[in-house]
Amino acid sequence: MSVGVAIIGSGIFAREEHLPAVQAAKDFQLKAVYSRSLKSAQDLASGTTGVDLYSEDSGPGKGYADLLARDDIAAVVIALPILVQPDFIRKALTAGKHVLSEKPIAKDIATARDLVQWYHANIDTRKTLWAVAENFRYMTKFLRTAEEVQKLGRVKNFRVNFHALVSTDSKYFKTAWRQTPGYQGGFILDGGVHVVAALRLILGSNDPVATISAQSCLQQQHLPPLDTVNAVMKTKSGATGVLSLSFGSAFDDSVFEFDCEGGVVALNSDTLTIKGESNELAFDGRGVSREVAVFATTIASGGSVDKRQSPEEALADLEIMEKMLTSGERDGERQTVELQV
């Protein structure tokens, strides 16, 4: 039997990814959409059938609490602005709904740890599941890279370069909450956790990042508080690495390179090069359909949350991101990383 699900939020990612992913998930049946305004809920749901709309301006019986009161809705997929998510997550879990909430888990480590602790203290975590979405952990190219790196023995040195320019014309820039972020890092936090997640996936859980030193700056005046962060890292085993990240850069690249005991593995955009042999990986989506399907199946089968979407993984991503930002604020002061899983 399908699990009734609602999509909470109607932004770019809900429209481009969550809606088709929920519709494609065999264990899910979309029952409702919630958005702040009825207009945007309608926009998201247009073309669907049997989907009820909820919003803050729909009048009595049509708010978020009403959606959560429905017995035929067992799960929610939440993709709201970073600052409002924790409240929506708490309410859904309290109502006994399973939650898949978008990354980052929260705006900072303190808020995220509060939320995780609250979840364990107040919710029956075997009965009501909380998962945090991180689609990069479900993308074929990162999974393949991780697999190849782990075949080649210990990583000795690595570098990740992820540079792009979010212009004033970008659809993401046009989101009001992204344009004037009330949280650390702006686009760097929002986009950077994906890159950190990919790096962590590839390094593997046996040799996590242990220390970070970073410098940050603002290159584009329209992207405050900062758009660029460069970090050096050392892992538990002593491997060193560079993570250079910018959303305000004239550099344009997405390169993950690992110098392993057995040779070099490099993922340059969609080209995976293993010990000098290059393979173009066919693009098969951004991983959201797989992560939503895994979440649906977990619920339907009564299983426990897939490690790749556990709050602890999301917290570990956020920790690295925040330590990079903190080090940058403190002019390169070394930060110790402690929450890796």
Question: In which residue are the tokens 């962060």 written?
Answer: 229
Please, what is the angle between helix 140-151 and helix 187-203, to 10°?
40
Site string for a copy of itself, 111-150 (x = CB under 8 A): ----------------------------------------
In angstroms, the Cα distances linking 331 to 183, 213, 249, 321, 336 are 19, 9, 20, 16, 15
The verdict on 267 binding a copy of itself (CB under 8 A) reads no
The verdict on 70 binding a copy of itself (CB under 8 A) reads no
Q: Which of 157, 205, 206, 278 binds a copy of itself (CB under 8 A)?
A: 157
Site string for a copy of itself, 312-341 (x = CB under 8 A): ---------------x--xxxxx-------
- Chain centroid to Cα 163, Å, comes to 18
Cβ contacts of 257 within 8 Å, gap of 6 or more: 158, 159, 160, 264, 265, 266, 267
Span from 43-51, 152-160, 279-287, 309-317 in contact with a copy of itself (CB under 8 A): 152-160
Q: What is the DSSP letter of 158?
A: E
State how far the Cα of 248 lies from the Cα of 227, in Å rounded to an integer: 5
Site string for a copy of itself, 224-263 (x = CB under 8 A): ----xxxxxxx---xxxxx-x-x--xxx-----x-x---x
* Cα dihedral 289, 176, 255, 184 sign: negative
Kindly state the smallest distance separating residue 152's Cβ from a copy of itself, in Å: 10
Helix (H, G, I), strand (E, B) or coil at 115: helix
Give the number of residues in contact with a copy of itself, rule: CB under 8 A.
39
The verdict on 155 binding a copy of itself (CB under 8 A) reads no
The verdict on 217 binding a copy of itself (CB under 8 A) reads yes
Binding site for a copy of itself (CB under 8 A): 156-157, 159, 161, 211-217, 219, 228-234, 238-242, 244, 246, 249-251, 257, 259, 263-264, 327, 330-334
